[in-house]
Amino acid sequence: MSETTGCTADWHLEHSAPGQILHYLDPRRPFARQINILTNRFRDIQALCNDGAASPALTRLRNALAFHMVRMSRWWRFDFCPRGVTGVRNPLFLTYVKAHAERSAEDDALFDLFTLQRHMHAGDGGHILVVGHDPLTAPSVSILYGVDGQRNFRFATSSRGGEPLWNGKAYPDFASAWLAARAVHALIQDDSADIHEYETAHREHMWVRSWHHRHFHRSGKLPVIRLYAQANAQLMNCQSAFGRAEMKTVVERMAFDIARTAFQRHMTVADLIEESDALSISLRSANTIKQRARAYVATCIDPMARPEMDTLLDRVVSYVPRRCP
């Protein structure tokens, strides 16, 4: 695959700012789309900088994207190794992150909270840094979100003009806190349907968290076909709209990984299924896998990288391996 998307430095300065890519306070936006675009833009800009296009503005943008990769890894709780994901050595990547934090008091406070905690009561679950408010709730109820000294996410509710009351529970990622807050908001509004929906979504998000955690893993104990079968079984059990949407994206990503593996091994998807001996998947599933892989590219891959990924999928579909007579 090519090293860059061919976009110019000026194009990135106009289109690749973190605020145009990331939606921290709305976990209904697909996690995979945000992190895929973020990492692709960083790699592209890093390549431009290495080729001599490192203007001060482009350097600042690269540093900002580096910081937000670290922030996203905490926000969604996924494993993140800078060298493995971006090709940049970890110590050098960290200098980019620190350079950005030094230019932003808000980002510096959050980076400190997730690292040295010089400005926090270190390890204190009652010392909370506010990171945003929920703009989509009823005007009479306000919801705040924060991260405590134990690096867990928290939420608080308050009536109009009242002091926020922080919920006693802590959550490992923002989406968990958001779903719990929405359930409490529905309880305040006496909306039984929404209470059930968000409580169900919270349980289903717990299934999805392990998939987010392994997002950048390229190898594991189970073959990709079996991982796809596991994810598809979990999707079939999801009942909430949020849970189905999250799990659907995971299944589509697994389908894309299957197609990519088939491409790399010069096989058809059907042959890969047959080789895996995954009894829970029939050979007729090959077309469904291809369709889901297409959907993943269309919705979760950086638009700048889609033509290359579409070409990859085209080659998987058209390739027919030679067989011995």
pLDDT at 37 over 90: yes
Q: Who wins on pLDDT, 135 or 142?
A: 142
Band of pLDDT at residue 324, cut at 50, 70 and 90 = low
pLDDT at 112 over 60: yes
Reported as a single tens digit per residue, the pLDDT across 143-166 is 999 999 999 999 999 887 788 899
What CA–CA distance (Å, rounded) separates 174 from 65?
19
- Residue pair 309/5 in contact by the 8 Å Cβ criterion: no
DSSP 159: E
pLDDT at 139: 75
Q: pTM score, two decimals?
A: 0.91
Band of pLDDT at residue 251, cut at 50, 70 and 90 = very high
Q: Who wins on pLDDT, 321 or 282?
A: 282
Query: Quick one: average pLDDT of 308-317?
Result: 90
- The distance from CA 211 to its chain's CA centroid, rounded to whole angstroms, is 10
The alpha helices in the chain, defined as continuous H runs, are 9-15, 18-21, 31-48, 56-75, 82-86, 90-101, 105-114, 174-188, 192-213, 224-237, 241-264, 269-276, 285-300, 306-318
What is the pLDDT of the chain when averaged over all its residues? 90
Band of pLDDT at residue 1, cut at 50, 70 and 90 = very low
Band of pLDDT at residue 286, cut at 50, 70 and 90 = confident
pLDDT at 223 over 90: no
pLDDT at 159: 83
> 241-264 and 285-300 are packed helices; what angle lies between their axes, rounded to 10 degrees?
110
What CA–CA distance (Å, rounded) separates 80 from 82?
6
pLDDT at 92 over 60: yes
pLDDT at 2: 39
Query: Quick one: average pLDDT of 240-250?
Result: 98
Query: Quick one: average pLDDT of 21-26?
Result: 96
Q: How far is CA 290 from CA 230, 295, 316, in A?
A: 17, 9, 9
